[in-house]
Structures are given as C-alpha cells and as structure tokens.
Chain A
Amino acid sequence: MNKSRPARVMWLLNHTSARKFEIPMLKSIGINEIFLPKSFPMDPDFRSASIDWSEDQFLTIPKEDLDELNAVDWYTGGTRNAWEIASRHFDACFFIVLYDTAILKLASKHFKGALLLRAYGLSSPVTYSSLLDFKTQGLGLIWAKRAGRRFYFAKAYEHLDQVESSTLQKRSLYLPLGLHDVSVTDQWQGKDKRIFFVCPGVGFNPYYQAIYSRFISDFSGLPYAIAGEQPVQVNDPAVLGYTPLAVHEENMRQMRLMFYHSTEPNHIHYHPFEAIRAGMPLVFMAGGMLDRLGGAGLPGRCETVREARVKIERMLNDDWKLIERIRQTQAVLLDPMKAENCAQAWRDGFQRLFAELATTRTEQAQRPLKRKRIAVIVPAIYRGGSLCGAKLLAQAIYQGSRQFNEAAEVVFLHLDEEAAYPDEALADLFPGVSRRVFKWKKMRRGEARRAMRYAGHATWEPQVGQYLVAEDGMNQLLDCDLWLVISDRLSAPLLPLRPCVHMVYDYLQRYVPLVAHDSEQLFLDVARQAEQVLVTSDFTRNDAMQYAGLPAHKVVKLPMLAPMFSDQSEYCSPAKPGYFVWTTNLAQHKNHANAFKALRWYYEKLGGVLDCLVTGVNTHHFFKDPLPHLAEATAMIKGSALLRKRVHWKGELAANDYQRTLARAAFLWHAGKIDNGTFSVIEAASLGVPALSSDYPAMREIDQQFALNLAWMNADEPKAMAEQLKQMESTHPARRGLLPSKSQLAEHGTDRLAGEYWNAIRECL
C-alpha cells in the first residue's frame, strides 16, 4: 500500500448483488475509495448488472483522471492510457474474464497494482484455467504469470482453486462471497400451490435452455412457475418473465416451495438464499455447492429427481410437517454468507496483498529498464516498392520509438540470399537499424510443442503439421520482443514464441485468382493468429475484416509511408518531354492486356505523340517465357509494329537512373487494376511529375492523403484509357501546378508519421 495516500481499489464488475456485499466488505477492512465501472456490455448475459455512481464522491483523485476512467469500456480491456492513470492512483483491481480476456492482457501489461481475477465459480467441467486457455489460445495463463506476484486468483469459495491449474492455485486468495442481508424475514404463507423455479435466459442461453427442458420434463404434470430474467421472449405461459418488485415479493410469499436444480460443485446462484430468507421451503438437489455450505443433512436435500418429485408432491399436497421441517432447518445455509463470517478472510487476504505489493513495487523500482528490440522481417525476396516499403517501416519504428522516449532497437531481417540482397540494395537502410540474415526453418509438431513448452507455454498444442521459425544461426530471433512480418505470405504459421504483427498491404486474392485455395486458407490463418494486422488503406482494412475475418480491434490502419526524392536539382524537366513512364511489374493485377489495348488505340487511332517507357521489377522478362496472363498482351505487342516502335522496355532501373528518367517524363502512368495503391505516383509528385492513374479505392486514398490531384481513368475500358493518355499530352504541364509542394509532401514523410507506427506497435509489446 502506498503510505502517502489512502488505499484505493478498482472493482471492475457490475453485478448488483455481488456489489452490495463486496463494497461494504472492502470498506469494513479500511478501503474507502473504490472505483466502479460506469458501463457494461449490452449483452443478455449481463442481465444482473447495473451501474452505481455513488462511490465516486469518495474518490480523492483528480477529476479529469476520474472522468477519463469513467469513460472507459473496461470489459473490452480498457486503454493503455487508462491503465496508466489507474496505476498512479489505485493499488488493486478486481476484474472478470468471462466476457473478454483482453482485460487480463492489458491490465497485466500496464497496471502496476495488484490484479484480482474474481472467481465466483463456473459450470463443470469448465474451469478458469481452461476458459483462459481456450479464449486466448493458451496465452491467458502467460499473461497471469507476467503479472507475477501481483496477480491473484480471488476465489469466492474456498475450494474453487482445486480444479484449477497450478498457475492459478499458487496465486489463490480467498475472499469469500456473502450476502449483504442474511436476515430471515419469514413472511411466507405458501398459499400458491406451485413450484417456484428460477431459470433465467431460457430464450437465448443454451445452458439454461437445457435446464429448463430438463425441469419441465422431470416435473411434468406438476404445477410450476418459472421466474428469472428473460431478455428474449419465451412462448410458455408458465415462464413469468419480467415481474414488478411487488409481484415478485408476493410470489416469494405465496409460492409453495422453491426447487433448486443445481448439482454444480463450483457454482451457486443467489435465489436459493433468497428463498431461505423469505422463509420459503427450499427443495434442492444433492451434490452441489449447498452441500458444502451445510446442506448435506437437511430435509430439503434430494439425492435423485424421483426423491425430489416425491417430496414436492407431498408439499403440494399439504404435508405441512415436511414443509415446516425444511423451513426450520434450512437457515443454517445462510451462516457462511454472513458478512461477519467472511470479514476475517478479507482482512487476511488484503493484508497479504498489500505486503506482497509493497515488496513487488520495491523490487521493480530497482530493476533496470530493458530496451525493446523489434524484428522487421522480410519473409521472401522482395524488390522494388515492396522492399522500399519494408525499409521505411523499419525506419518508422526506429524513429517513432524515439519520439515516444521509448527508444527501441530495430533489426531488419531478410533472407540469406546474397544475389537477391546485395549490399547496395540495403545501403539506404536507416542509420541505427541493424541488419541480419535468416533462413526459414520448418519445425514438426513434436519439436514445435517442445519449443513452446520450454518457452513457458504450458498448454499450447500444435494445430497444424508444421511451423516456421526464422533461423538466424543464433537464437531464432528470440532476442527480439516482437516480430513484425511484412505480408502474410508464409508457407506455414509462425511458431508463436513472440508477439507477431503482420503488415498486410492487400488481399489481392480476393479479386484476382492469384493463389490456390489451400494457400489462401494458410495466409488467412497467419493473419488470424497474429496479435495485430497493420494496413495502410481503408480498402485493405475492409478486406482484412470482411475477407480475412479479423475483428475490427485487431486491424490498425496507418498512413502510407512513401519514399521522397529529396534533391532533384540535377534532374531538369525538359520543355517538351517526349515520353511518359509506365511503372509496372509482371503481376496479374497490373492490367497489361487493357494497358496495351489502350496504348495501341492511343498510337494507332489517336495519333499519340508520347513514347511509353516501361520500367519495373522483371519487366525486362516480359517476353521471356511469358506467363499465361501475359499471353494476350504479348501477342498484341508482337502483332503491332507501332507498339514495338513506341514502347521502350527499360527494365528495373537503379534508383538514380529511375529518378532521372521519371523527372524528364511528361507524366507517370499507373494502369494497374486493384491493389493497395502504388507510391510511384508519390515519387513522381516529389519530382514535380503528374500522374494518370487507374481509378480504384486505394489510389483515391493515396490521392487524398498526399493531395496529388491525380488524373483518373477507368482501367476496364481501354479506349477510355487511351483518351485519357491523349488528354494528358496537353494537360500535363498544367497538372504540374496542381502537385503538392515539397513542404506539403514532407508532412507525410516517414519521420512525421513514425509516431503513429510506434504507437500501434507498442500495444503489442
């Protein structure tokens, strides 16, 4: 406990009945400042939830901090900023994981106080360990371990940890749940000869639907009324649904008995206690929690349904002797629920908690801060724009981390292929970013499983036959804290030894049949297993959600990074440029057939005066073993002397040569059909060269982000494309005036955008 201020606790639950007991209990042990969440999910499972603002008046934290905490949705994990505020002011935090495990993930990372996973018990055979495991693909218990001795399994019943993993057992803290009011009012009269059975959520919850079906089957022929919140309508007149308080109280007075079905060993509901308090006789099944609470020898206890039915029939037929015997003896079940019987455990628990927290805080304060290391992995042989983008990404992370005063080391990894990655290809790697080579290594199931076990993933099981690791000849990138992979094109899933983020530029396969169906699923699985997927356009973001099926919170859209040609003083644009540049490659979506149809029309029918210079990766291989999708374009070129004369194949130019060629062009032509956009138009703008582009969403986004004022054409209509080319002959000089200035472009430089990249990445560390 921080001695300079009072103890403060966050109780991040909204359960009305639990709150009525636990908040006064906290106050009784000296914790008077308690934060309660001001929202909860609009989910039928939260039917017992409510919001309480009354504790805010006792909180002595700055109002702006309180306002910020009040605005947070804690159930989906909260925000980093909110947890940092919480860390400043609060010592402990109660939370639940039934709705979303993100709260454990984020709290264990960002909250510096004690974390209490509040456990009220689950229906067998589910345990908190299995639930965490299932919902987080095995990471849940790792997050709990990450919090070390600040983490507690705050069990409401003493035996709850017996079915849990050792991770939770070792951090058990017994904080018993009771009732805020255990007085027996005994206004019961029992004139209504019906069984009162509480079964909420019949219309939507499969668990309660099964209980309901079983009840009406077991007790068919007997009169009953079914109480409990019914958020979704049920077509059964015996299901009461919402009842006003007065009606409910009358039911509690008059219904002949309550039947409690549960044989769950680890979970109990409130309503049996409500019945006992009201004096209503309770008939209950053996084997459940009531046995532990003193119900083992009670006359209302039944070993079998038949026994229950017999007793109930007797009670409905006015066996008052049995009724009274049950009523007189059942109050003993309330004893463990009394506040005075729970208080000592709470005092002991928090004493332990504060002592351990004090020790932990002292220990942590003495630890040196470790600098983070980020691996930027180029998974295949990339050239041209793809490699350029990867280098810019590494630069952004390096610069961004420093802008946040969280200087990270960045390692740029590429395949160990000297021919593909000569030194000059990476000469412009940002200073400070180190370089490392690697090969992909495949691991079989058994190896993968062992590696994950050694790394502390106690429950991880392989889902596929093989996994990939990046073999760098040292420790397989385990010196890095996060792996950022450029693209999702892996031949197998990465072994998840580190948080993995993928930069996915596009989902072209959604629109063009680029990959086989089997590979498609593989790439989707890669993205689905990642911590986060980064995209640079809204169009790709939409595809990530709609096609890859990623939830919105996992996809982060960041502004596109583009290379800027900074010094073009040596490149003078001629007064009358004689050509335009078409930057392309051999990929299927580059629309070669339509482009060449357009060029043919431009030259043959429209008298086009500008030559076309074709540049780009592998373009010099256009005619060499032409790929099937290039057959039509190849035939067109071979059949047109004019095309052969006016179209010049420059291949992949070195950077300086490309800049010089582009600077002297009339304009840049981008004829591709659908992708994530090309920053060749940005490069062109930085050289003062306008561009004519295919009109598709990603290019519109680039146009908007960089204010390029692109000219547009419909890439599906070659004649229209040709007409636009013709028009550019006369308009390109004027279009130069519409280009952004150097300073405007500089606002989108990597150094200016780096902060956004680091802000996204740091969430995954």
Chain B
Amino acid sequence: MSVKHYGIFLAYAPTVDLRNQGLGRYLAAFLKGAADRDDLHFVLVCPSWSGKELQALLASEGVPRDRYEIRSPGQKPIVLRGFEAYQAYQKRPRKKPLRQRLIDWSHQTRVAAMRRIEERLAQAYSFSALLPLLLGLVILALIALILSPIGLIAMMVFLSGRLVRRAIQRIARPLFGLTGRLQRALRHPKEDGLVLRLYQLMDKAESNRMLQLIDELRHVRAWYSPTAFWPAFNEIRAPRLMCVPDVVLAEFPVGFSHVGGDRFLANFASVESAILSGQNFVTYSDSVKWETLVDRYAVPAANVAVIHHAPNDLAPWITVSGFADIHAATRRYCETLFVRALGKSSNPDYARTFFNRSARFLFYASQFRPNKNLIALLSAYEYLLRRRLIGHKLILTGKPHAWPPIEKFLADHHLENEVLCLHGLEIQELAACYKLADLAVNPSLSEGGCPFTFTEALSVDTPVVMARIPVTEEVLTDPELQEMTFFDPYDWKDMAHRIEWALSHRDELLAAQRRTYADLAQRSWTDVVNEHIEVLERIATAGSQPGNLKAA
C-alpha cells in the first residue's frame, strides 16, 4: 500500500513544555488517531529547540513511534544554548562556597584535634604520659609562630581585598548594572525587551531554516499547522491548511491586556498576520468559523472547514484490570494518583499532610486565563461552601501566582485551604482527578470548540456542568440535556444552583450525559484525522486554488 506523507508545522518558542499545553495534548491525540491508518505518515517539522520536548510529549502520551518522524534544523542557536547552559548551571546541585568549605574544614579539624587532646588527657595516668601531648602542643605553637607573618600578610590581603573590592564596585557600578540586567534577563527572559527582540530575530532565522528544510521534503503532499501563532507557515511553498482554534485575545481585550505585556501583543500580531496571509483554514467550531474568521477577518466561508474534536478518553490511563473488583481497584489506584497530585499543590503546607484520599471535590481542569471565568466560579463555590454548606473542595489546575486576581480572591475570601490548585499534572493524575471528582465544571466564557471537559469527565463516569456558550450548544444539542447541564456563565448564582442541583441529582445527570457521551464516542480521532486528510488532500490536488473545504 502506498503511503501518503503529510507535514505538521510546529514553531513553539524555547522553554515551552508541550505537556502543559492544550495544543500539545491535541497533537498527541491527533497522531494517535492516525495510528489506525497504515497509509499515512506524518512529518513533524519543528525548531531545533523543540525536538526533544516533542519526543517526550508524544512518548508520554503513548503515540506509536512508527506513525511520525520529527525533523528539525541542525544545531540550536548559540544564544539559546548559552541560555540553556546557564539554566542547567543554575539548577546544579550547589556545593558550598570555597570560603564556607574552608571554614567548615578548619572547624572540623579543630574539633577533631580538641577531641584527641581531651582523650589523651583523660587517659593520662602520669605526667610522663602527658609528655607526647605537651610536645605536640609546643610544635603546634612553633608552627603557628612561623606561619604568623604569613597569616598576618594573608589577613592584610583579605582586609585590603575588601577595601579594593569596594573601590572596584564603585568604579565599575555601570558594568555591574549591566550584569544585573543580564541576570534579570536570564531569570525572566520573557519579560526582557532585549531578550524578546533577540528571540524574534532568532525565531525568524529558525523559521527560515525550517522553511528550507520543508522545501526539501517534496514527498510531503500538504502541510498543516495546528495553530495560528506562526505566520511563517504561510511561506511554505506547498498546499497548506492552518487551524485557527480561536483568537481569544480579541474577545477579551481588557482581561488579556493585563497578561503577558507586550509579548502577548506581539503574539497577537503574529496570529492576525498568520490569518490575514493564510488561505485555507480549519476551525473546531462553526462559531469560530463565522464569528472570528468570516466576520472579523473577512475570510471566505468556503475556505474554512469545520472539524469537531473527537472525545478525549481518559479511561485507559487509570483503568485497572486483572482484579475481582476492577472498580474498587481502579478507584484505589486513582486515590494513589490523587495523593501524588496533591503534592503539586500551590499550597504545599496544607496539602502535604492532607490524608483523606476519599475527599469529595469539584474539578475544573484549565489554565488560568481571562476567558476561563474563574472569578465567577470561585464566587459560586464560596457561596456553595459557606451558605449552602456542600462541604466539597474545589480543585483547579492553574497557577494562582501567575494570575493575580485569582490569588487575591483566594486570600481575601480565605479559600486557600478549600480551593486547591494542582499544576503540572501528568495525564494519569488528571484522569484520576476527573474520576474521583463528584462533578466536573467548566465555566469558560469562550473556547475554540466544545471543551474537552465533557468527554474527559464522562469517559471516566463523572458528570459535568458547563457554561452555555455557542461552542457547547453546537455539540450538546439535546434540549433536555442542555437544561440539566448548562448554566449562565454570566450569573454566578445560576452556576451555583446548577452545581448544587447536579450534586444532589448526580445519578440522574450522569445517566442522561452517558447517553450523549455514547453518541459522541462514536467519533474517534481517526475520524478527525480522516477529515483533516480529506481537506489536505483536496488542497493538495487543487494546488492553492480555493474551493469548498467543508469535510464530507
């Protein structure tokens, strides 16, 4: 059977851990979906700095190795290598400074010597027995006397060294200012203007190298970019399809204006540039197609295909087999994972000795971003905890200190010990949290497609309540299901009532949602891949001519 090669273009920045990115997991699911087809092979082209992380991501997600190859330009840029070396140096196990080691050594030697003297004294039964000891002390005194001028000189050098150092510091202050700046840049590279400019130049150069590499891959029929962050994708001289998950900064301009500074603004410009210079697109929802691409960016509707997600099935990661009671065994395993996940809490003092493996909680898995509507969720939760007395904890997966409004809310409302933020969860830990939760919640105001929350939770038999937004209404269409599942995300009280109702009608909600999940589960990632391939194939055979791209 002849194998068709398709390319995937990835240009994530250095230090991005793909395992923590939603798009990273999406890519893994996509490639696993291709595993069922023997006639497909994907070439992943990425920057020189992403190859290892990409390999790690795909290995951790269990993507079969024979379905893809990773190609990247040769060496990493020297500046980046230097930065990574600096980071590795910073993370090295620290030895004590030489001065401290000398002090420690002299202390230990002195203590050992004193101990020996004390032993000899205690064991001396006559004055003659003390003679060797006295002789030793005399010799030591003589040595000290001989060395004393050296010692004096050393002390003078040391003291004068301090004066000289101070003088040098005063003279070389501007230079130290520069080194201080350099250190700050190395510690927080994303916030330094020079670093950003360097990165942009490096990125441009790397993109050019990737494009040259891509030019040589003539056997690749068409190229796919899973995101709109990279305008360089549009310079590929081959049929191209760009995925636009969403342009969330445009929908939440005020919220995002406080996040990421001008770096995010630069990213936004890249996204707009990518869209404006692109031609063929795919989105996860009709909502993004029409409201973002067609309305905002005047992309012809015929050039946009809509390909819905397939469910994300988390069950294989946690299901235990081979026991008489697999439900109990699975639960037990999930509780072990849950305890492990608690170790990643942003409140370690509290979580470290939290021993209740069977704690009841609500769960929302998401980064902290302005569109995620977290303040409303926290308001609803506080009301449920303190007025409705539900007793549950709320578990989130973002970093509170990366999003100050959340951190402030938690502190102001004394919720630090009730809302546990577990960041950097492995896929098994995430699955365990979904499994053990009484209810999954998604209050997000805007997403590119129907959130994975629904299928992830239902795949492990946990019901969900979600915000009523266009992308959720697009997929969960049954009116009765919508009534049970949705709340108004702009009304935290409605959210609270829906959550409370769901907790007290859990079985009923789960039964209804299982039916819908069973329908959705008919769609697999292989279907998603097939639909993408259809579009890519159409683009490949038509060249760069626009046409009707809707998947058959």
Is B490 close to A, CB under 8 A?
no
Residue of B nearest to A716 (CB): B387
Residue in contact with B356 in the complex, picked from A231, A546, A674, CB distance below 8 Å: A546
Interface of A is mostly: loop
CB pair B418–A547 under 8 Å, yes or no, is yes
Residue of B319, B321, B332 with highest tally of chain A CB at under 10 A: B321
CB pair A231–B323 under 8 Å, yes or no, is yes
Is A557 close to B, CB under 8 A?
no
Is B62 close to A, CB under 8 A?
yes
Is B290 close to A, CB under 8 A?
no
CB pair B428–A204 under 8 Å, yes or no, is yes
Is B318 close to A, CB under 8 A?
yes
Residue in contact with A546 in the complex, picked from B323, B333, B391, B414, CB distance below 8 Å: B391
Question: For A539, what are the chain B residues with a Cβ–Cβ distance below 8 Å?
Answer: 389
How far in angstroms is the closest Cβ of chain B from A134?
13
CB pair B359–A546 under 8 Å, yes or no, is yes
CB pair B360–A233 under 8 Å, yes or no, is no
Residue in contact with A43 in the complex, picked from B319, B332, B386, CB distance below 8 Å: B332
CB pair B392–A44 under 8 Å, yes or no, is no
Is A542 close to B, CB under 8 A?
yes
CB pair B318–A232 under 8 Å, yes or no, is yes
CB pair B355–A547 under 8 Å, yes or no, is no
Question: For A43, what are the chain B residues with a Cβ–Cβ distance below 8 Å?
Answer: 329, 332-333, 336
Question: For A236, what are the chain B residues with a Cβ–Cβ distance below 8 Å?
Answer: 62
Is B393 close to A, CB under 8 A?
yes
Question: For A543, what are the chain B residues with a Cβ–Cβ distance below 8 Å?
Answer: 391
CB pair A551–B357 under 8 Å, yes or no, is yes
Residue of A nearest to B32 (CB): A235
| Chain B, 327-359, CB within 8 A of any chain A CB | 328-329, 331-333, 336, 349-350, 353-359
Given contacts A42-B328, A44-B333, A528-B353, contact A552 B358 (CB under 8 A): yes
Complexed CA–CA distance, A510 and B349 (Å): 17
CB pair A42–B325 under 8 Å, yes or no, is yes
Residue in contact with B319 in the complex, picked from A233, A510, A546, CB distance below 8 Å: A233
| Chain A, 527-570, CB within 8 A of any chain B CB | 528, 539, 542-543, 545-547, 549-552, 554
CB pair A232–B317 under 8 Å, yes or no, is yes
What mask results when residues 509 to 526 of chain A are scored 1 for a CB within 8 Å of chain B, else 0? 111010001001100110
Given contacts A42-B325, A43-B332, A697-B389, contact A510 B418 (CB under 8 A): yes
Given contacts A520-B417, A696-B389, A716-B387, contact A231 B359 (CB under 8 A): no
Residue of B nearest to A546 (CB): B391
Complexed CA–CA distance, A674 and B359 (Å): 22
Given contacts A43-B332, A204-B428, A233-B316, contact A549 B321 (CB under 8 A): no
Residue of A232, A237, A545, A674 with highest tally of chain B CB at under 10 A: A232
Is B322 close to A, CB under 8 A?
yes
Complexed CA–CA distance, A231 and B328 (Å): 13
What mask results when residues 403 to 428 of chain B are scored 1 for a CB within 8 Å of chain A, else 0? 00000000100101110000000001
CB pair B322–A47 under 8 Å, yes or no, is yes
Question: For B332, what are the chain A residues with a Cβ–Cβ distance below 8 Å?
Answer: 41-44
CB pair B353–A549 under 8 Å, yes or no, is yes
Given contacts A550-B355, A551-B355, contact A42 B389 (CB under 8 A): no
CB pair B322–A242 under 8 Å, yes or no, is yes
CB pair B329–A44 under 8 Å, yes or no, is yes
How far in angstroms is the closest Cβ of chain B from A613?
30
Residue of A nearest to B342 (CB): A549
Question: For B349, what are the chain A residues with a Cβ–Cβ distance below 8 Å?
Answer: 521
CB pair A551–B329 under 8 Å, yes or no, is no
How far in angstroms is the closest Cβ of chain A from B144?
34
CB pair A231–B321 under 8 Å, yes or no, is yes
CB pair B360–A517 under 8 Å, yes or no, is no
Question: For B331, what are the chain A residues with a Cβ–Cβ distance below 8 Å?
Answer: 42
Residue of A nearest to B392 (CB): A546
Is A481 close to B, CB under 8 A?
no
Complexed CA–CA distance, A543 and B389 (Å): 10
How far in angstroms is the closest Cβ of chain A from B459?
14
Question: For B320, what are the chain A residues with a Cβ–Cβ distance below 8 Å?
Answer: 42, 44, 204, 231-232
Interface of B is mostly: loop
Question: For A231, what are the chain B residues with a Cβ–Cβ distance below 8 Å?
Answer: 320-323, 329, 333
Question: For B329, what are the chain A residues with a Cβ–Cβ distance below 8 Å?
Answer: 42-44, 231
Complexed CA–CA distance, A346 and B322 (Å): 34
CB pair A517–B416 under 8 Å, yes or no, is yes
Question: For B386, what are the chain A residues with a Cβ–Cβ distance below 8 Å?
Answer: 510-511
Is A229 close to B, CB under 8 A?
yes
Residue in contact with B414 in the complex, picked from A513, A521, A524, CB distance below 8 Å: A513
CB pair A545–B316 under 8 Å, yes or no, is no
Question: For B359, what are the chain A residues with a Cβ–Cβ distance below 8 Å?
Answer: 545-546, 549
CB pair A552–B322 under 8 Å, yes or no, is no
Interface size on B, residues (CB 8 A): 43
Complexed CA–CA distance, A231 and B318 (Å): 9
CB pair A542–B391 under 8 Å, yes or no, is yes
CB pair B319–A232 under 8 Å, yes or no, is yes
Complexed CA–CA distance, A539 and B324 (Å): 34
Complexed CA–CA distance, A49 and B264 (Å): 55
How far in angstroms is the closest Cβ of chain B from A44?
5
Residue of B nearest to A516 (CB): B414
Question: For A551, what are the chain B residues with a Cβ–Cβ distance below 8 Å?
Answer: 355-358
Question: For B180, what are the chain A residues with a Cβ–Cβ distance below 8 Å?
Answer: none
What mask results when residues 145 to 185 of chain B are scored 1 for a CB within 8 Å of chain A, else 0? 00000000000000000000000000000000000000000
Complexed CA–CA distance, A235 and B425 (Å): 19
Question: For A552, what are the chain B residues with a Cβ–Cβ distance below 8 Å?
Answer: 356, 358
Is B64 close to A, CB under 8 A?
yes
Question: For B322, what are the chain A residues with a Cβ–Cβ distance below 8 Å?
Answer: 47, 229, 231, 242
| Chain B, 40-85, CB within 8 A of any chain A CB | 62-64
CB pair B416–A545 under 8 Å, yes or no, is no
What mask results when residues 696 to 731 of chain A are scored 1 for a CB within 8 Å of chain B, else 0? 110000000000000000001000000000000000
CB pair A235–B319 under 8 Å, yes or no, is no
How far in angstroms is the closest Cβ of chain A from B349?
5
CB pair B325–A521 under 8 Å, yes or no, is no
How far in angstroms is the closest Cβ of chain A from B326?
8
Residue in contact with B64 in the complex, picked from A235, A513, A520, CB distance below 8 Å: A235
Complexed CA–CA distance, A518 and B323 (Å): 44
Question: For B64, what are the chain A residues with a Cβ–Cβ distance below 8 Å?
Answer: 235, 237
Complexed CA–CA distance, A232 and B411 (Å): 39
Complexed CA–CA distance, A163 and B324 (Å): 37
CB pair A524–B350 under 8 Å, yes or no, is yes
Question: For A47, what are the chain B residues with a Cβ–Cβ distance below 8 Å?
Answer: 322
What mask results when residues 363 to 400 of chain B are scored 1 for a CB within 8 Å of chain A, else 0? 00000000000000000000001110101110000000
Given contacts A42-B325, A511-B386, A517-B414, contact A528 B316 (CB under 8 A): no
Residue of A235, A520, A697 with highest tally of chain B CB at under 10 A: A235
Question: For B387, what are the chain A residues with a Cβ–Cβ distance below 8 Å?
Answer: 716
How far in angstroms is the closest Cβ of chain B from A752?
30
Complexed CA–CA distance, A716 and B318 (Å): 44
Question: For A550, what are the chain B residues with a Cβ–Cβ distance below 8 Å?
Answer: 355-356
Complexed CA–CA distance, A725 and B265 (Å): 61
| Chain A, 5-43, CB within 8 A of any chain B CB | 41-43
How far in angstroms is the closest Cβ of chain B from A496?
14
How far in angstroms is the closest Cβ of chain A from B60?
10
CB pair A525–B321 under 8 Å, yes or no, is no
Question: For A697, what are the chain B residues with a Cβ–Cβ distance below 8 Å?
Answer: 389
CB pair B321–A235 under 8 Å, yes or no, is no
| Chain A, 155-183, CB within 8 A of any chain B CB | none
Residues of chain A having any CB pair with chain B under 8 Å: 41-44, 46-47, 203-204, 229, 231-237, 242, 509-511, 513, 517, 520-521, 524-525, 528, 539, 542-543, 545-547, 549-552, 554, 674, 696-697, 716
Question: Nearest 5 A-B pairs (CB), nearest first?
Answer: A235-B62, A549-B354, A42-B328, A42-B329, A231-B320
13 contacts between A and B (CB under 8 A): A42-B326, A43-B329, A231-B322, A231-B329, A232-B317, A511-B385, A511-B386, A517-B411, A524-B417, A543-B391, A545-B359, A547-B418, A549-B353
Given contacts A524-B350, A674-B389, 5 further A-B contacts (CB under 8 A): A42-B329, A42-B332, A233-B319, A233-B321, A521-B417
